[in-house]
Structure 1
């Protein structure tokens, strides 16, 4: 199983936010956003910053999925 951040991208769309808005709101680096975009590992501190900025729970931005279901 791997982690998918599709929920994060959907949440940003629903809130009419861009990736650059997420960077500004949360204080995470552009390289962290790139990692998230490729479903790569990021530090839990990054995920916590995103949750605080978006006022959401971890389950609202990511989920575990089988390896064969991720694009």
Structure 2
């Protein structure tokens, strides 16, 4: 499962609020809500976040192996 924990940490480090990110990147509040729930968002949004924040994809998402089922 994908988690956005690295993004929330990156935003704190850069002093950017989630709503500010939404406006900067140009996605909907629904997309932001899905991210908050750890749900899938389109890769184009992740790419744009990386461009806007000048960061790597690992600063935005990671795989949460603890939530995997066998």
TM-score, scaled to structure 2:
0.88
Give 1:28 shift.
Answer: 1.4
| Unaligned ranges ≥5, structure 1 | none
For 1:53 and 1:32, the matched residues in 2 are separated by 16
| Unaligned ranges ≥5, structure 2 | none
TM-score, scaled to structure 1:
0.86
For the 8 Å contact 1:26–1:52, the answer to whether it is kept is: no
Q: Partner residue of 1:34?
A: 33
Q: What count of residue pairs does the alignment treat as equivalent?
A: 67
Structure 1's consecutive aligned runs of 4 or more residues displaced over 2 angstroms after TM superposition are none
